[in-house]
């Protein structure tokens, strides 16, 4: 079968797993299928790595994916993940994982409608990732088109697609960010914080729709070559 012509299997997954047991446990077992997930955080907080971990887990379970990236080329994304022992090259070659670099910053005011148009063409994929939306938002002068974009993303997820959007939260006002959070089924907040004498990345699972446990949990993690994301103890949870 030509992978370009493949379509969603009859059985739709109930959960998108990161295949990292500790991370999944904090997300109530994983992200629910058909969910709209926001991964927010500052520069260097680990947004892309978390999205890549979830991408790799989904591919391990046989699901199909599409990533729209303003952060990488196809080669650099594959190489970056290989260094974390999250090798997706075979999935890319087989068409199970598609990667489309997008120069959203250069598109200016038409970035959001252009991105939405291509997202609507991905209804046959299990997982779609946008990494990141920040460069599209900063060129949009009013909040209404941005909120309308997320409303359309909700409709896309209603068709069964799981959609992950990463966002540099510090560049977005609370007047905009709070409504975006409310529209998302899952919100994962990443920070870089001081823990004793060292800087540590932390993940707060702000909410996950239907999660029986884990919501509100804050965990520390490292990103290590050949290992990927590794959850580590922190001295105390911080809001």
Say what the alpha-carbon torsion angle 191, 194, 195, 200 is, to the nearest 10 degrees. Answer: 40
| pTM given for the model | 0.90
- Has residue 28 got a pLDDT over 90? no
pLDDT in tens, 189-207: 999 987 677 788 999 999 9
Task: Tally the C-alpha atoms within 13 A of residue 191's C-alpha that lie toward its C-beta.
Answer: 13
Give the start-to-end residue ranges of the domains of the chain.
15-232
User: Which pLDDT score, from 0 to 100, does residue 11 have?
Assistant: 44
Rounded distance, CA 142 to CA 199, Å? 36
C-alpha dihedral sign at 152, 157, 162, 167: positive
User: What average pLDDT does this structure show over 152-156?
Assistant: 97
Band of pLDDT at residue 105, cut at 50, 70 and 90: confident
User: Which pLDDT score, from 0 to 100, does residue 62 have?
Assistant: 95
User: Which pLDDT score, from 0 to 100, does residue 195 have?
Assistant: 67
Out of 3.40.225.10, 3.40.50.300, 3.30.365.10, 2.40.30.10, which CATH number does the structure's domain 15-232 have? 3.40.50.300
């Amino acid at each position: 079968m030509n992978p370009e012509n493949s379509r969603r299997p009859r059985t739709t997954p109930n959960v998108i797993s990161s295949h990292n047991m500790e991370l999944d446990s904090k997300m109530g077992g994983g992200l629910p299928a058909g969910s709209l997930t926001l991964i927010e955080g500052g520069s260097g907080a680990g947004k892309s790595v978390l999205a890549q971990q979830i991408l790799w887990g989904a591919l391990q379970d046989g699901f199909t994916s599409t990533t729209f990236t303003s952060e990488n080329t196809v080669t650099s994304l594959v190489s970056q993940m290989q260094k974390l022992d999250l090798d997706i090259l075979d999935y890319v070659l087989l068409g199970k994982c598609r990667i489309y670099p997008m120069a959203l910053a250069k598109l200016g005011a038409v970035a959001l409608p252009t991105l939405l148009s291509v997202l609507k063409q991905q209804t046959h994929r299990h997982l779609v990732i946008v990494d990141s939306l920040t460069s599209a938002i900063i060129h949009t002068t009013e909040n209404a088109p941005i909120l309308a974009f997320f409303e359309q993303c909700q409709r896309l997820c209603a068709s069964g697609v799981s959609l992950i959007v990463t966002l540099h939260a510090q560049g977005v006002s609370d007047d905009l960010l709070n409504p975006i959070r409310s529209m998302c089924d899952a919100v994962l907040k990443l920070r870089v914080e001081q823990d004793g004498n060292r800087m540590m990345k932390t993940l707060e699972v702000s909410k996950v729709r239907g999660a029986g446990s884990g919501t509100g949990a804050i965990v520390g993690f490292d990103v290590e070559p050949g290992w990927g994301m590794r959850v580590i103890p922190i001295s105390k949870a911080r809001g």
